[in-house]
Amino acid sequence: MGTQLIALSLGVALAGCSTMNSAAGSLGTMPAPARAAALHQDMRRLWSDHVVWTRQYIVAAVAGTPDAPVALARLMRNQDDIGNAIKPYYGDAAGAKLTDLLKQHISLAGEVVAAAKAGDQAKLQDADRRWHDNAGEIATFLSSANPNNWPHDAVLSMLNNHLALTTREATDRIKANWSDDQQAFDAVYTQIMGMADTLADGIIKQFPTKV
């Protein structure tokens, strides 16, 4: 795992994350349309936390403030939450694997931010390459779990877009381009909500009787 991580998130926000693993049991008594809507809401919350705490970390890491490790710890916990969310559908091993891949994603993002802040182009290029390689691993993992609804190339495109937008956000923050930084986070947030919906839709289509 790298040093720290980058990311995206506007203010701090919402402590406490509803993991879909715990939600799955309580959803069992709800009508199917309501359960599907709840799955969408839970998935959006998880990925909202992902970009919000990523941003909080970026803001703290770039400024060099002492809350950076706290934001990072909360962000890492979000990767546990996302992995737990798929366990009711894909099993414990799959959930643990996704968490591991996502924690690598966060650590590598931290390396990207640290190298960019330091102006070290060699380290930046190396970290960025490994960051994109990790995105390819996540795309392969997800598409192998649900190939009909999460095709590899489509998932990889979404993940690479997420990386590009996060890079833009971190770069604007480092350069103190405040208006651009705000717009970049808006774009990050909009994009991640689309990705959350894609993941929720894929689960609903693959497991219509479980949702």
Sign of the four-CA dihedral 203, 208, 209, 211: positive
Q: CA-CA distance, 80 to 84, in Å (whole number)?
A: 6
Q: What is the chain's Cα-based Rg? A: 17
- How far CA 82 is from CA of 19, 22, 104, 196, in Å, comes to 7, 12, 14, 11
Assigned domain for 33 exists: no
Rounded Cα distance between 14 and 26, Å, is 21
Domain count, the chain: 1
* Position 16 confidence tier, pLDDT thresholds 50, 70, 90: very low
Neighbouring CB atoms inside 10 A of 53's CB total 29
Whether 125 has a pLDDT exceeding 60, the answer reads yes
Tell me, yes or no, whether 17 lies in a domain. no
Question: How does pLDDT run across 27-45, given as a tens digit for each residue?
Answer: 555 658 999 999 999 999 9
Domain-embedded: residue 15 = no
Maximum average pLDDT range among 5-14, 19-28, 165-174: 165-174
In the prediction, which pLDDT does 29 show? 55
The domain in which residue 68 lies consists of: 46-206
Residue 119 has pLDDT above 70, yes or no: yes
Three-state secondary structure call for residue 170 = helix
Is 19's pLDDT higher than 90? no
Evaluate if residue 129 carries a pLDDT over 80: yes
